[in-house]
Amino acid sequence: MTHPQPIRCDACAVRHRAVCGALGPREVERLNAIARHRTISAGQAIVGDQDRVVSFASIVSGVVKLTKTLSDGRQQIVGLQFASDFLGRPFRDRSVYEATAVSDVHLCIYDRRQFEQLVREFPGFERRLFENTLDELDAAREWMLLLGRKSAEEKVASFILMVSKKLESINGQGGEGRPAKFELPITRTEIADFLGLTIETVSRQVSRLKSEKIIALEGLRTVAVLDLARLEKASSG
């Protein structure tokens, strides 16, 4: 983990997509004064389940997985977060999940008390956080549908589609007839855990999508979406 470094918000690659995108010039200057950058190496914990909250963060680059641990020690991946996503819950004393860097992750860190004061002062900032929370709630409901009603093929196709769209919006890949090409952020074992499937089922469904020329594979984790329309159809039955 690197030591935190001061930054300039106007040079941030995710400035307009992150929660701070709702701020005007004066508010951005205030946020800039409390923000620090920090790089977390892949595999390192960012915050633990039930840790005391001392800061929040926007993800500038990289992927973070959110997990919950059961009383018997089993873990469940409950979410993935990408560049421009917000880590943490303002006005809550303790974290409700463990956040771990899947890849090397570049974070914009905000001191909790100073950040919450800005939220109180700037209604637009508060509204953006509220909208962000509602978006996460909608996504959670969609994921409940996936876990409860979708077939194994639909689950795997939905996961690949979700990652493809997330990374395309960040990196601008795909479009104009070019296949979106990306690396899956987690292993097949973790995908199986995330989707409530066995690793054998995940591998079988990935191979099926490949054989039908909906996707192409390079190694175990690099995917190219060859036919987006058919992938979308496979994700919804």
Q: How many residues does the chain have?
A: 237
Number of structural domains found in the chain? 2
Task: Give residue 176's pLDDT.
Answer: 52
Closest C-alpha to 105, from 57, 170, 173 = 57
And the tokens for 237? 């039955």
CATH number at residue 94: 2.60.120.10
Which spans in 13-79 are helix H? 25-34
pLDDT digits (tens, 9 = 90+) for 187-218: 999 999 999 999 999 999 999 999 999 999 99
13 pLDDT more than 80: no
Last residue of a domain, one of 145, 168, 188: 145
CATH number at residue 167: 1.10.10.10
Task: Please list, in sequence order, all residues whose beta carbon lies within 8 angstroms of the beta carbon of residue 58, skipping any fewer than 6 positions away.
Answer: 14, 18, 19, 20, 84, 85, 86, 87, 107, 108, 110
Q: Which domain holds residue 202?
A: 150-236
2 pLDDT more than 90: no
And the tokens for 14? 């995710």
Cβ–Cβ < 8 Å for 191, 202: yes
Band (pLDDT 50/70/90 cuts) for residue 177 is: low
Task: Please list, in sequence order, all residues whose beta carbon lies within 8 angstroms of the beta carbon of residue 129, skipping any fewer than 6 positions away.
Answer: 19, 86, 90, 119
- Give the pTM: 0.85
Whether residues 110 and 77 share a domain: the answer is yes
